Amino acid sequence: MRNINLLLASIIILLVSCTKDNTLGPDTLFIGRWGGQGISVLATDTQVTLDFNCASGTISKRVMLSNNLFLEKGTYTQFTGNTPVNANTPEPQIVLYEGNLSINDLSLTIKSEDGKTIIGKYLIIKNDTGKVIRCM
């Protein structure tokens, strides 16, 4: 009888662990890879890193959704292609990352900190690595 109880407990633990996905809940952006044309995103439970063809970005916190939307401050660093050896490295700027989640797709808009200038718009797909070609 003890062996049967132990077996049942093991099966329950196995089933629970197999059904857990890598999200933090319905109000949290999917943890994992997102990607699209010119963009690759990795969302973790502590930050989001973004790679673009000629830029990079970071949101230094977990992204929380409200009605499938989010608006977060982050950084965006524009690259210039071939940089001379003694040139200054590009400085990150503060930007707004605005997202709209629709099941497995995320519309992402990057705006200047004041929200007046659109830096880029992307459609990214959950579990996609994206297609990023670094600028030269």
Which string of DSSP letters, residue by residue, matches 12-79?
A: HHHHHHHH--S---TTBPPSEEEEEBTEEEEE-SS-EEEEETTEEEEE-SPPBPBTTEEEEEEEEEE-
Number of domains into which the chain is organized: 1
* Rounded-to-integer distance, Cα 110 and Cα 35, Å: 15
> Counting beta carbons within 10 angstroms of the beta carbon of residue 112, is it exposed (0 to 12), middle (13 to 18) or buried (19 or more)?
middle
13 pLDDT higher than 90: no
Give 73-129 pLDDT, tens digit per residue.
999 999 876 666 666 778 899 999 999 999 899 999 999 999 999 999 999 999 999
Residue 79 belongs to what domain range? 22-126
3-class DSSP state for residue 11? helix
Please give the biggest Cα pair distance in the chain: 75
Q: Is residue 14 part of a domain?
A: no
Q: Is residue 13 part of a domain?
A: no
Backbone angles phi, psi at 131, to 5 degrees: -130, 100
Q: Is residue 117 part of a domain?
A: yes
Q: pTM (2 decimals)?
A: 0.75
The residue to which tokens 């690259």 are assigned: 79
Q: Is residue 131 part of a domain?
A: no
